[in-house]
């Protein structure tokens, strides 16, 4: 187990180096921040001076070397626009993003798993059909539309909840539900299918035959085995959510990473883009590792030696 | 098991109670104004381009001079000044002005600001000011030299915010974001990233304490969310309301729409510098102006919320020439001009535009398509290509490979079109692709003329020549639409800054 984890951690190094190289090339291909930083009255000499200040007049391989050398020490430089260190800018947004991601995940799991169990147990009933139809809506609705509709109903008409911004729990409800609904629908669809398969397995029949209660058969024997694909999917969704749910963050004015990354890309703020992508890559790889370790908990047949 | 069950129920109950217990009050408190903008800028450094934080910076920092809502010049931190030489101005500072940290404003502090602004190793807006000298004469007198001499120097220096001495020691901008200290009517309280900036009234302000006690600037990127907040009374001032939302906003009954002409003029610039391009010929450029039904586009696409221009100068600008009238819509004349220039069947051309710029104005996507449709009527097939701000800027003034026609917006400051003429139409400008030597020399002469009355006929002549030379399709100035809560007494400024010192409550 320890050997496996160390091996996986070592794999972080080539992955991150690859990510750094790709993001460096992409940012330098898409444009030059100096054209945005100069004032309208600027002359051609001013433009060259700005490129010099930002270090963009140096050969590209030299810029890459400096970038990699600093990045491996966790130093991505300062934002071209605010002069703050890129890392502090990115870390400042992480709590808001994590808060939103975990709350929507919670909604998806708390509502999605019981719905899937009910649908699987009452297969082909009206209840199953009803849950499936609702899930279909959940998956099909674009999040910006759902967000705006919920804002209209609960914020503008009923005035129960604040429309935008981050504050108390009340501010979290609309964005978290907006994000949670589609994820909940995916959890329900996936888990229902797997549960239906598992419930027809011999060992489930055996468990029922030896007199275990229905609840125990479903929760202990069937659900545990059916959960593996769902856990994989939740892990990937969580990774994507931690990367920032740009649309939802924009609609609800949520101060998360997604907005930061989009703004930094349009501002060509290289240091912040580099740092954000790198932090997100670490988060994503770590979640993948956790998911892989969780397989072993769910299915003791899986070994890591 | 039962215990666990109870614990779960208790937790759920606490969650529900806390959820509704902490529902925050919607809307502003008494004495407080909430202003919403799409996003914040990145810094609070008055020595760099102000960008999206301009409203905030103008509330915190004062300049040596001051521009009022109509664009007129007034004394600011300097109560008077005199021109010592064409390049040098001597400022007499107001005595007894205090920074928000209690320090007194002196000539030494102003000198520190000028020096920090001139630092060649930092991305300042030093290219707006070519400072070549700064001398402290006595505690309240300072001489500042700029070379070459600029007749608008006194106006421009109004936008150079004077920061406290303790901040001028920092070369980088990050400290300014933590504790911006100026002499302005509002003091900095807090900046919560991507959420809000809070300012409180400065009761010791040298022009008297402001009526507004607290301003909260909020950042809401999505337009429909801003409108929702507005109609539910969650905010007081929102700029940039699109004309089609006006009925919805006004129907709320608690908000009014206040229009203010923006000084951004919209033009479609031509590359006159390519000898084999159709736009090298004046007749073709004139034909393009005749071919576009600008009045109809204003009426239909922009809901009538724009004002036509003939040669980039607004009627309230210095040097406006009323005898230059906009091109009429005349597609037949356009066709005959194209035929005379050797293009009886028209031509194909690429047309770059940028819908993401701060000066894009409303509905640019619809506007450019309407223009393309009009041009098609006279046989010109324009192929629209959209770019984002950085890509477009790079094409225009770094790579210099922009398409033969491209959309552009330019904001005229200080009611003086000199910089606009230069930026858009002088062949040495980084934005322009013109080749008219006569216009070049007049622009230089007009901008450098220290006796402004002598500059007036030069500016008038430039408009006549621009109209005839037609290096652009001349379009319009749009009205910026502000939604303002009915409890707030405030009028927008011509420079578009939301400055609430003069605001009050009804």
Q: What is the DSSP string of B224-273?
A: HHHHHHHHTTS-SEE----GGGHHHHHHTSSEEEEEEEEEEEEEEEE---
Which 3 state secondary structure label does DSSP give B469? helix
Nearest to A53 among B122, B234, B388 (CB): B122
Determine how many CB atoms are found less than 10 A away from the CB of residue B465. 17
Q: Which residues of B touch A256 (CB under 8 A)?
A: 194
For residue B172, pLDDT beyond 50: yes
Confidence of residue B114 (pLDDT cuts 50, 70, 90): very high
Alpha helix segments (H runs only) across chain A: 2-30, 34-37, 44-53, 60-71, 86-121, 126-140, 143-150, 169-199, 202-209, 214-216, 224-242, 246-251, 257-267, 270-298
Check CB contact under 8 Å for A170 and B24. Answer: yes
Comparing A37-51, A182-196, A272-286, which segment has the lowest mean pLDDT?
A: A37-51
Contact predicate A170/B16, CB 8 Å = no
Contact A164 B410 (CB under 8 A): no
Pairing state of beta strands B347-353 and B380-386?
parallel
Instruction: Write the pLDDT tens digit of every residue in B57-73.
Output: 999 999 999 999 988 99
For the question of whether the overall pTM of this predicted structure is more than 0.80, the answer is yes
Rounded CA-CA distance B474/A84 in Å is: 42
Contact predicate B481/B257, CB 8 Å: yes
Residue B220 has what pLDDT? 92
DSSP 8-state code for residue B168? H
Q: How far apart are CA B402 and CA B398, in angstroms?
A: 10
pLDDT at residue B24 above 50?
A: no
Contacts of A150 in chain B (CB under 8 A): none
Q: With beta carbons less than 8 A apart as the criterion, state whether A68 and A22 touch.
A: no
CB contact under 8 Å between B229 and A268, yes or no, is: no
Torsion of CA B360, B366, B371, B373, to 10 degrees: 160
Q: State the nearest Cα–Cα gap between A253 and chain B, in angstroms.
A: 5
User: In this structure, are residues B48 and B395 in contact, taking their beta carbons and an 8 Å threshold?
Assistant: no
Taken as a whole, chain B contains a residue count of 506
In degrees rounded to 5, what are phi and psi of residue A221? -95, -50
CA distance A305 to chain B (A): 37
Closest-approach residue (CA) in chain B for A33: B390
Residue B90 β-bridge partners = B82, B143
pLDDT of residue A237: 87
Decide if pLDDT at B4 tops 80: no
Of A53, A79, A163, the CB nearest to B232: A163
Residue of A nearest to B220 (CA): A253
pLDDT classification of B17: cutoffs 50, 70, 90: very low
B390 vs A contacts (CB less than 8 Å): 30-33, 35-36, 266-268
CB contact under 8 A, B394 and A35: yes
Give the nearest partner residue to B125 out of A31, A39, A252, using CB atoms. Answer: A39
B221:A159 CB<8 A: no
Contact at 8 Å (CB) between B153 and B131?
A: no
Per-residue pLDDT tens for B387-400?
A: 988 889 889 988 89
Mean pLDDT of B314-341: 96
Nearest chain B CA: its distance from A7 CA (Å): 38
Coil vs helix vs strand at A80: coil
Nearest CA in chain B to A44: B430
Paired strand residues for A78 = A85
H or E element: which one contains B138? strand B131-138
Name the DSSP class of B302.
S
Angle subtended at Cα B153 by Cα B152 and Cα B154, rounded to the nearest 5 degrees = 95
Binary contact (B194, A266; C-beta < 8 A): no
| Per-residue pLDDT tens over the stretch A33-43 | 888 888 777 88
The answer to whether B225 contacts A163, with C-beta atoms less than 8 Å apart, is: yes
Task: Please list, in sequence order, all residues whose beta carbon lies within 8 angstroms of the beta carbon of residue A163, skipping any fewer than 6 positions away.
Answer: A151, A155, A156, A174, A252, B225, B228, B229, B232, B234
Q: Can you tell me the mean pLDDT for A101-109?
A: 93
* DSSP structure string for B50-86: -GGGHHHHHHH---SEEE-TTS-EEE-SEEEEEESSS
B398 vs A contacts (CB less than 8 Å): 32, 34-35, 47
Confidence of residue B357 (pLDDT cuts 50, 70, 90): confident
Q: Tell me if A259 and B194 make a contact (CB, 8 A cut-off).
A: yes
Query: Of A153-157, A169-173, B360-364, B462-466, where does the model show the most confidence?
Result: B462-466
Residue of A nearest to B26 (CA): A162
Of A47, A92, A156, the CB nearest to B398: A47
Residues of chain A with C-beta less than 8 angstroms from the C-beta of B12 = none
Q: Which residue of B has its CA nearest to A95?
A: B193
Question: Do the Cβ atoms of B228 and A155 come within 8 Å?
Answer: yes
Let me know: does B44 contact B176? Beta carbons within 8 Å.
yes
- pLDDT 10s digits, B289-299: 999 999 999 99
Nearest to B195 among A79, A148, A166 (CB): A166
Of the candidates B113, B127, B64, the one whose C-alpha atom is nearest the C-alpha of residue B93 is B64
β-bridge pairing B488-489 and B88-93: unpaired
Residue B218: phi and psi, rounded to 5, are: -110, 150
Could you give the 3-state DSSP secondary structure of residue B139? Answer: coil
- Report CB contact under 8 Å: A170, B20: yes
Taking residue B329's Cβ as centre, other Cβ atoms within 10 Å add up to: 17
Residue B367: predicted pLDDT: 94
Return the residue in A26, A27, A35, A57 with the most chain B beta carbons within 10 A, the one to mutate for interface testing: A35
User: Checking DSSP bridges between strand B65-67 and strand B255-270, what pairing results, if any?
Assistant: unpaired
For Cα atoms B103, B105, B106, give the angle at the middle one, nearest 5 degrees.
Answer: 120
CB B32 within 8 A of CB B473: no
Sign of CA dihedral A295, A297, A301, B1: negative
Contact B245, B461 (CB under 8 A): no
Q: Which of these, B317, B237, B287, lies nearest to B477 by C-alpha position?
A: B317
Q: Judge whether residue B5 has pLDDT over 80.
A: no
CB contact under 8 Å between A47 and B430, yes or no, is: yes
Q: How far apart are the first and last CA of chain A?
A: 6
A255–B390: do the CB atoms touch at under 8 Å? no
Record: contact A78-B410, CB cut-off 8 A: no
Q: Please judge whether A37 and B194 are an interchain contact, meaning their C-beta atoms are less than 8 angstroms apart.
A: no
CA distance B21 to B16: 8
How sure is the predictor about A216, in pLDDT bands with cuts at 50, 70 and 90? Answer: confident
The residue among B381, B380, B390 whose CA lies nearest residue B354 is B390
Q: What is the pLDDT of residue B434?
A: 94
Map residue A243 onto helix, strand or coil: coil
Separation in Å, CA B84 to CA A38, A171, A231, B142, B148? 30, 59, 76, 11, 14
Tell me: cis bond preceding B148? Omega within 30 of 0 counts.
Answer: yes
At A226-265, the pLDDT tens digits run 898 999 999 988 888 887 688 899 999 999 999 999 899 9
3-state secondary structure of B39: coil
What residues in A contact B232, CB-CB < 8 Å?
A: 155-156, 159, 163
Q: Kindly report which listed range (A291-300, B227-236, B252-261) carries the lowest average pLDDT score.
A: A291-300
CA atoms within 13 A on the CB side of A156: 18
Question: Best residue in A27, A44, A83 to probe B by mutation, most B CBs within 10 Å?
Answer: A83
| Beta pairing partners, B198 | B190, B216
CB-based burial label for B246 (10 Å; 0-12, 13-18, 19+): middle
Average pLDDT over residues B255-265: 92
Please report which helix (H) or strand (E) contains residue B489, including its range.
Answer: strand B488-489
Contact assignment for B120 to A49 by CB distance below 8 Å: yes
Closest CA to B165 of B157, B175, B155: B175
Instruction: Answer yes or no: are the C-beta atoms of B465 and B439 closer than 8 Å.
Output: yes
Q: A204-218, B118-132, B135-149, B400-414 — which is least confidently predicted?
A: B118-132
Residues on chain A touching B410 (C-beta within 8 angstroms): 40
User: Could you tell me which residues come within 8 angstroms of residue B282 by beta carbon, excluding any fewer than 6 positions away?
Assistant: B468, B469, B470
Which residues of chain B neighbour A269 with C-beta distances below 8 Å? 42
Give the pLDDT band of residue A30 (cuts 50, 70, 90).
Answer: confident
Q: Which of B173, B225, B430 sits opposite A151 (nearest CB)?
A: B225
Contact A260, A89 (CB under 8 A): yes
Does position B15 have pLDDT exceeding 60, yes or no? no
The pLDDT value recorded for residue B107 is 97
pLDDT of residue B26: 53
- State yes or no: pLDDT of B6 exceeds 60: no
Closest CA to B194 of A260, A268, A241: A260
Radius of gyration, alpha carbons of chain A? 24
B16 falls in which pLDDT band (50, 70, 90)?
Answer: very low
Mean predicted confidence (pLDDT) in B72-77: 95
Chain A: nearest CA to B251, how far in angstroms?
14
How many residues are there in chain A? 305
Q: Which residue of B has its CA nearest to A171?
A: B23
Reported as a single tens digit per residue, the pLDDT across A136-189 is 999 899 888 999 999 999 999 999 999 999 988 999 999 999 999 989 999 999
ipTM of the modeled complex: 0.85
Closest residue of chain A to B359, computed from CA coordinates:
A40
Q: What is the DSSP string of B355-419?
A: TTSTT--TTHHHHHHHHHHHHHHTTEEEEEEE--HHHHHIIIIIS----SEEEEEEE--TT-THH
Q: How confident is the model at residue A3 (pLDDT cuts 50, 70, 90)?
A: confident
What share of chain B in percent tops pLDDT 90? 76
Partners of B82 in the beta sheet? B90
Which of B490, B492, B502 is closest to B186 using CA atoms?
B502
């Amino acid at each position: 187990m320890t050997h496996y984890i160390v091996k996986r951690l070592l794999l972080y190094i080539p992955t991150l180096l690859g990510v750094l190289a790709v993001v460096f090339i992409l940012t330098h291909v898409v444009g030059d921040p100096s054209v945005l930083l100069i004032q309208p009255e600027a002359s051609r000499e001013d433009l060259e001076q700005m490129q010099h200040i930002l270090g963009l007049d140096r050969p590209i391989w030299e810029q890459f070397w400096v970038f990699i050398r600093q990045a491996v020490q966790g130093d991505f430089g300062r934002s071209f626009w605010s002069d703050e260190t890129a890392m502090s800018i990115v870390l400042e947004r992480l709590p808001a993003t994590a808060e939103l991601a975990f709350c929507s995940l919670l909604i998806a799991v708390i509502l999605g798993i019981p719905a899937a169990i009910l649908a699987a147990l009452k297969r082909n009933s009206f209840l199953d059909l009803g849950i499936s139809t609702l899930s279909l809506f959940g998956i099909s609705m674009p999040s910006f539309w759902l967000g705006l509709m919920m804002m209209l109903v609960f914020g503008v008409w009923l005035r129960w909840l604040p429309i935008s911004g981050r504050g108390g729990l009340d501010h979290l409800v609309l964005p978290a539900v907006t994000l949670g609904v589609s994820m909940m629908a995916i959890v329900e669809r996936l888990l229902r299918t797997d549960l239906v398969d598992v419930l027809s397995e011999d060992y489930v029949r055996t468990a029922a035959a030896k007199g275990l209660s229905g609840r125990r058969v479903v929760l202990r024997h069937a659900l545990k085995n059916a959960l593996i694909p769902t856990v994989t999917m939740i892990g990937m969704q969580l990774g994507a959510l931690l990367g920032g749910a740009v649309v939802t963050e924009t609609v609800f004015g949520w101060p998360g990473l997604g907005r930061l990354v989009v703004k930094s890309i349009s501002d060509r703020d290289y240091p912040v883009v580099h740092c954000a992508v790198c932090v997100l890559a670490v988060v994503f790889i770590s979640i993948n590792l956790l998911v892989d370790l969780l397989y072993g908990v769910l299915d003791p047949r899986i070994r890591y030696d | 098991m039962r215990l666990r069950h109870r614990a779960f129920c208790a937790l759920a109950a606490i969650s529900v109670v806390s959820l509704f217990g902490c529902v925050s009050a919607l809307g502003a408190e008494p004495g407080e104004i909430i202003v919403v903008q799409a996003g914040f800028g990145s810094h609070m450094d008055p020595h760099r381009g102000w960008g999206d934080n301009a409203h905030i910076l103008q509330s915190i920092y004062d300049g040596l001079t001051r521009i009022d809502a109509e664009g007129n010049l007034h004394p600011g931190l300097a109560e008077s000044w005199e021109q010592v030489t064409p390049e040098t101005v001597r400022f007499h500072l107001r005595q007894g002005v205090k920074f928000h940290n209690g320090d007194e404003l002196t000539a030494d502090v102003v000198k520190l600001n000028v020096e920090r602004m001139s630092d060649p190793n930092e991305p300042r807006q030093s290219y707006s000011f070519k400072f070549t000298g700064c001398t402290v004469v006595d505690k309240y007198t300072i001489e500042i030299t700029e070379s070459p001499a600029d007749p608008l120097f006194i106006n421009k220096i109004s936008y150079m915010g004077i920061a406290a001495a303790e901040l001028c020691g920092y070369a980088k901008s990050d400290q300014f974001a933590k504790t911006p200290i100026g002499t302005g009517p509002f003091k900095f309280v807090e900046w919560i990233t991507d959420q809000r900036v809070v300012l409180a009234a400065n009761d010791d302000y040298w022009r008297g304490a402001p009526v507004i006690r607290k301003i909260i600037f909020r950042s809401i990127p999505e337009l429909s969310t801003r409108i929702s907040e507005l109609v539910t009374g969650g905010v007081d001032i929102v700029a940039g309301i699109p004309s089609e939302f006006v009925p919805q906003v006004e129907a709320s009954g608690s908000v009014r729409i206040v229009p203010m002409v923006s000084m951004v003029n919209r033009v479609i610039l031509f590359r006159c510098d390519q000898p084999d391009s159709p736009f090298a010929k004046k007749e073709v450029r004139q034909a393009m102006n005749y071919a576009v039904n600008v009045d109809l586009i204003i009426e239909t696409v922009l809901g009538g919320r724009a004002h036509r221009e003939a040669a980039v100068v607004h009627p309230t600008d210095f040097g406006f020439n009323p005898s230059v009238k906009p091109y009429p819509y005349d597609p037949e004349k356009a066709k005959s001009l194209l035929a005379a220039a050797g293009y009886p069947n028209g031509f194909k051309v690429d047309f770059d535009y940028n819908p993401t710029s701060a000066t894009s104005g409303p509905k640019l996507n619809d506007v450019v398509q309407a223009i393309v449709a009009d041009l098609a009527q006279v046989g010109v097939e324009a192929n629209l290509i959209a770019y984002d701000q950085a890509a477009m800027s790079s094409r225009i003034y770094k790579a210099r490979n922009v398409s033969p026609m491209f959309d552009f917006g330019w904001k005229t400051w200080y009611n003086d079109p000199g910089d606009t003429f230069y930026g858009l139409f002088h062949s040495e400008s980084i934005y322009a692709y013109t080749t008219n030597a006569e216009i070049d020399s007049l622009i230089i002469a007009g901008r450098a003329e220290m006796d402004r009355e002598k500059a007036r006929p030069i500016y008038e002549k430039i408009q006549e020549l621009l109209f005839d030379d037609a290096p652009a399709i001349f379009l319009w100035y749009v009205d910026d639409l502000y939604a303002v809560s009915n409890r707030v007494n405030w009028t927008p400024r011509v420079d578009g800054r939301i400055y609430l010192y003069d605001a009050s409550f009804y």
